Structure 1
Amino acid sequence: MDDLADAIPVGENGAQALVLADEPATSCYLPEHQAFLRWLAADSEAGLSAAADTVLADPATVWEECGTWVSDGPAVLMDSAEAGSELGIEYPGGGMPAQASVPLPAGRWKVRATHTKVDVENWVGLVQLLPTES
């Protein structure tokens, strides 16, 4: 994948998965911004969160357009190295695959992404979902 995010087909029924590309990074979903926040560099969660707020509020932020994603409703944020069918199944040595709920209504979403260095300590990745008309 060449972009910072992209929707790819999953299965045979036309479903799609949104893949957050580039480097592995701890990620979470910010429902108030309909955006995934990726921890690229920061000294603390508070610094990362503040940097994300700065980037999201700045009209000069440069966004990469990453196509459209069609979702049938709430999603799951997971590591792409996991098989989706194995979420919820304990590993042989113990522990469970990491996953987080993404409270997203069904719809068609314009996907845009940025990797932005806010200051010396904080560099954030954001993948934002914007509703489309059709």
Structure 2
Amino acid sequence: MGGPLIVVPVSALPSWGGCTESGLMAADATAPDDYDRACAVDTLAGVIPIDENGTQALVLADEPATSCYLPRHRAFLRWLAAETEAGLRAAAEAVLVDPATVWEECGTWVSDGPAVLMDSAGAGSDSGTEYPDGGMPAEASVPLPAGRWRVRATQTEADAENRVGLVQLLPAGS
């Protein structure tokens, strides 16, 4: 829908409200809705609260680029420019192991385990539910262990044909 992508712990999906028609929370006509809060992240990635229990969502900010999760690297790969998926993945692998890669530190995210990568405009309660006119929400499961994660991100031209975005989760303290 054009908004940033977001990673929501499965346990907190019912609490993610997404976008409302007015752009405001129903219970508080002055508070921005979840989608607008996600859009307010002005770095490559950021963490925002989901509920009063301290549950957090990870926002993959900037643009809603086609993205996937690379479990081996605990990284989200964002397709910025590439001729092929294979070329993009190879470029991402090279960037991830290159000690010269410049990373932006994006805070700490605490998650209680598996999560869902989805459009921030969608409501978490709609996850896995077919739309009335057919089709399913675009989402991907993120097999993540519970933990406290240091979030870092980069957008880089890996080579002449591939520009990658990466948001990587590292154990906090590393």
What is the aligned partner in structure 2 of residue 16 from structure 1?
Answer: 56
* Corresponding letter in the other structure for 2:142: V
Query: Take 2:141 and 2:57, find their aligned partners in 1: how far apart are those partners?
Result: 14
Pairwise CA distance, 1:120: 2.1
| Higher-strand-fraction structure | 1
Matches within 5 A, 1:23-102: 23-102=63-142
Aligned-CA RMSD value: 1.2
For 1:131 and 1:105, locate their aligned partners in 2 and report how far apart those are by CA, in whole Å: 11
Q: 1:123 aligns with which of 163, 167, 173?
A: 163
Instruction: Specify the alignment match of 2:42 in structure 1.
Output: 2
Judge which range, 32-41 or 80-89, deviates more. 80-89
Q: Distance in 2 between matches of 1:88 and 1:56?
A: 31
| Superimposed CA distance per residue, residues 85-124 of structure 1 (whole angstroms, 9 cap, x where no aligned partner) | 1112211210011111111110100000000101221000
Pairing 1:96-115 to 2, within 5 Å after superposition: 96-115=136-155
Decide which moves more: 111-120 or 83-92: 83-92
- State how far apart, in whole Å, the 2-side matches of 1:130 and 1:8 are: 18
Higher mean displacement: 43-52 or 86-95: 86-95
Normalised to the residue count of structure 1, the TM-score between the two structures is: 0.96
Same amino acid, percent of matched pairs: 78
TM-score by length of 2: 0.75
**Bigger-Rg structure (1/2):** 2
Tell me the distance in 1 between the aligned counterparts of 2:96 and 2:167: 10
Unaligned regions of 5+ residues in structure 1, if any? none
One-letter amino acid of the structure 1 residue matched with residue 93 of structure 2? D
Question: Which one-letter code corresponds to 1:87 in the other structure?
Answer: S
